[in-house]
Amino acid sequence: MGYFLDLFLSGLTRGSIYALIALGYTMVYGIIQLINFAHGEIYMIGAFTALIVAGVLTIYGWNQMAIIFIASIVALLYSMGYGYTIEKIAYKPLRHAPRLSALISAIGMSLFLQNYVLLAQTSDFMLFPSLIPDFKFLTSFSHIARPSEFVIIISTAIVMVLLTFFIKFTKTGKAMRATAQDRQMAMLVGIDVNRVISITFIIGSATAALGGVLIASHIGQINFYMGFIAGIKAFVAAVLGGIGSMPGAVLGSLVLGWTESFFTGYVSSDYEDVFAFIFLVLILIFRPSGILGRSDTQKV
Amino acid sequence: MKPVLEVTKLTMDFGGLRALDRLDLIVQEGEIVALIGPNGAGKTTFFNCITGIYPPTKGEMFVYPNEGHPVSLKGLKPNQVTEKGLARTFQNIRLFPNMTVLENVMIGRHCRTKSGIVGAVIKDKRTRAEERKIVEDSYTILEKIGLTRYVNEFAKNLPYGAQRRLEIARALSTEPFLLLLDEPAAGMNPQETKALDALILKIRSEEKISILLIEHDMKLVMSLSDRIFVVDYGKKIAQGTPKEIQNDPAVIKAYLGEDIDA
């Protein structure tokens, strides 16, 4: 039973990270029907920014709580800036172009950012300090899971709740839902759609960067390639849950996290990805629009 | 009397096709003006040009808000046109299907309210007061239109006639001084059409909103309109009061074709 619980929690941790990234995919898709392939790089850039800021602050001898706080904030803000800029440079000019053009632009942006970090930083794995402190109140649970796992799960849960609240009850959240349902009509009731799209990219980037900082601190190493694999997995999770649906993205991520974790634990860690993707194919055969996805409504 | 909308020599080309050809149109304050014509005459294109969906090839479009200077609509985006005080509905229903009736109306208040993201996060007093007011105002609009019993239903679950009325409610929530209705009676049964007739008159008299409508239901057009513009192949072929239009040979020709014997 203890082993099962271990796997359950490590799956939940993975799933939480996937969910933080998948939310960005699904929100952007919901609003402009674009798969933002550069999204995984935002996650990577978030981790790198945190590493640099933490490094600098450590030299100045700040205490650990201040470092994790400031490093996360800076990483979030910096990534938000990236998300905003990427949309303006790579997607906005192609708003009325065929969808494939924007997709290619997204892939190009992804490659560009990877190689840019590769050149600016290094191709080696870099050690990432375990920023998340060993909270005292969590040590009594330490036989179940590491404190950083708890921190990841809890902070993801908080982000989900905040985001749900934001989308459901705020004016901007309403504008986002309206834009997702009918962009032209949203403009005609006075919504500045460009602003809504920018906000969507900014929020998505912030959650992805948070995921990047958390996972880097949990695993302890990062490199320029980390965003690619995580991005693909999160994309898969978003499709699994039903792309465009936010609860779907979270559910899909958790399902993917648990699948990987249990398979690794009970069968073999060598074929972890193989099994995850077989599972994806099976779900999509039986539910082509994802677990919570709706089939597209016909527009007249 | 002063004009609220003045369009001069509006021309719209789609490649080689001239959808609108030097169209002139004026709506005076407090008027109900109808734009009629056979299918494909360019009526909806005309609406799309005014509301910023298409950039017209040539021509001028001015609106005259209640206070302040005339504003050119040229080059404005749809959301900016809405801010200036124009609102429209569509031929086919374009509600936000997965939002409640109340939310559909609230969203129209978006451009008339100030608080932004910061306010939404910290929930200060001003933001909360404003949010309460949005809900109250929206509810008042629903009361006027007679939709309060559907307030928390999803828009997609409403009966057809109610969806049409909700579109008008949402358009009103943006506080327009000119309302553009694109075939508001399409698909309605005679009773619903009658109720719509009353509603449009009520909007004009109580809200002081001028109305420009496209409509194929001639009974509705003749009973509602002060003046009628008739277009065919993008050109204006006639204008005048309902009576004048009914007897205009050019209009009869456009609708029924040329008399063989003539």
What would the pLDDT profile of B5-14 be if each residue is shown by its tens digit?
999 999 999 9
A2-49 tens-digit pLDDT: 888 889 999 999 999 999 999 999 999 999 989 999 999 999 999 999
Higher pLDDT, B96 or A130: B96
pLDDT confidence band for B87 (50 / 70 / 90): very high
- Cβ-Cβ contacts under 8 Å, A300 against chain B: 92
Extract the tokens encoding A224: 């320029």
Q: What is the pLDDT of residue A61?
A: 83
Measured CA to CA in angstroms, residue B177 lies from A232, B4, B27, B81 at distances of 50, 8, 11, 12
pLDDT confidence band for A298 (50 / 70 / 90): very low
Question: Cβ–Cβ of A188/B79 closer than 8 Å?
Answer: yes
Distance between CA A148 and CA A37 in Å, rounded?
Answer: 28
Q: What is the pLDDT of residue B249?
A: 85
Distance between CA B192 and CA B198 in Å, rounded?
Answer: 10
Which CATH architecture does the domain made up of A2-286 adopt? Answer: Orthogonal Bundle (1.10)
Q: Is A92 on the interface with B (CB under 8 A)?
A: no
Say which of B82, B92, B103 has its CB closest to residue A188. Answer: B82
- Cβ-Cβ contacts under 8 Å, B171 against chain A: 189
Query: DSSP alpha helices (H): ranges in chain B?
Result: 43-50, 78-84, 101-108, 117-122, 125-145, 160-172, 190-207, 218-224, 242-246, 249-256
Q: Which domains does chain B have, with CATH numbers?
A: 1-85+176-262 (3.40.50.300), 94-174 (no CATH)
Say which of A166, A171, A188 has its CB closest to residue B88. Answer: A188
Residues 6 or more apart whose Cβ sits within 8 Å of residue A298: none
Question: Cβ–Cβ of B96/A188 closer than 8 Å?
Answer: no
* A196: nearest CA partner in chain B: B117
Query: How many pairs of residues across A and B have Cβ atoms under 8 Å apart?
Result: 80
Strand order in the sheet with B17-28: B17-28, B3-14, B58-63, B71-72
- Cβ-Cβ contacts under 8 Å, B170 against chain A: 189
Distance between CA A283 and CA A240 in Å, rounded?
Answer: 7
A158-201 tens-digit pLDDT: 999 999 999 988 888 999 999 999 998 999 888 999 999 999 99
Question: Cβ–Cβ of A188/B87 closer than 8 Å?
Answer: yes
Extract the tokens encoding B80: 């900016």
Taking residues B119-135, report their average pLDDT: 78
Q: pLDDT averaged over chain B?
A: 89
Q: What is the pLDDT of residue A37?
A: 92
- Cβ-Cβ contacts under 8 Å, A174 against chain B: 99, 103, 106-107, 110
Say which of A172, A185, A191 has its CB closest to residue B120. Answer: A172
Q: Is A262 on the interface with B (CB under 8 A)?
A: no
Q: Is A191 on the interface with B (CB under 8 A)?
A: yes
Residue A299: is its pLDDT beyond 60? no
- Cβ-Cβ contacts under 8 Å, B88 against chain A: 188
Residue B67: is its pLDDT beyond 80? no
Distance between CA B37 and CA B182 in Å, rounded?
Answer: 13
Question: Cβ–Cβ of A181/B106 closer than 8 Å?
Answer: no
Amino acid at B61: M
The angle at the Cα of A64, spanning A60 to A67, to the nearest 5 degrees, equals: 65
* B120: nearest CA partner in chain A: A170
Q: Is A298 on the interface with B (CB under 8 A)?
A: no
User: Mind spelling out the 3-state secondary structure of A60-90?
Assistant: CCCCHHHHHHHHHHHHHHHHHHHHHHHHHHH
Residue A107: is its pLDDT beyond 90? yes
- Cβ-Cβ contacts under 8 Å, B120 against chain A: 166, 170-173
Extract the tokens encoding A39: 């999204």
Taking residues A227-236, report their average pLDDT: 90
Question: Cβ–Cβ of A178/B97 closer than 8 Å?
Answer: no
- Cβ-Cβ contacts under 8 Å, B108 against chain A: 189-190
Residue B115: is its pLDDT beyond 80? no
Q: In chain B, what are the helix, strand and coil shares in percent, each to the nearest 5?
A: 40, 25, 35
What's the complex ipTM?
Answer: 0.72
A54-74 tens-digit pLDDT: 999 988 888 888 888 899 999
Measured CA to CA in angstroms, residue B140 lies from A122, A264, B147, B155, B169 at distances of 62, 59, 10, 18, 10
Q: What is the pLDDT of residue A296?
A: 52
* A172: nearest CA partner in chain B: B117
- Cβ-Cβ contacts under 8 Å, B92 against chain A: 300
Question: Cβ–Cβ of B111/A189 closer than 8 Å?
Answer: yes
Q: What is the pLDDT of residue A196?
A: 94
Q: How far is A31 from chain B (nearest CA, A)?
A: 13
Q: What is the pLDDT of residue A13?
A: 94
Q: What is the pLDDT of residue A300?
A: 35
Which residues between 108 and 167 in chain A have a beta carbon less than 8 angstroms from any beta carbon of chain B?
A: 166
Question: Cβ–Cβ of B110/A187 closer than 8 Å?
Answer: no
B192-207 tens-digit pLDDT: 899 999 999 999 999 8
**B97 CB neighbour count, 10 Å cutoff:** 16
* A180: nearest CA partner in chain B: B96
Distance between CA A149 and CA A130 in Å, rounded?
Answer: 12
- Cβ-Cβ contacts under 8 Å, A297 against chain B: 97
% of chain B surpassing 90 pLDDT = 61
Q: pLDDT averaged over chain A?
A: 88
Q: What is the pLDDT of residue A297?
A: 44
What are the sequence ranges of the domains in chain A? 2-286
Residues 6 or more apart whose Cβ sits within 8 Å of residue B244: B238
pLDDT confidence band for A142 (50 / 70 / 90): low
Say which of B96, B131, B174 has its CB closest to residue A190. Answer: B174
Largest CA distance in chain A: 63
- Cβ-Cβ contacts under 8 Å, A190 against chain B: 79, 82-83, 108, 110-112, 174
Residue written as token pair 């009594």: A140
Taking residues B133-144, report their average pLDDT: 92
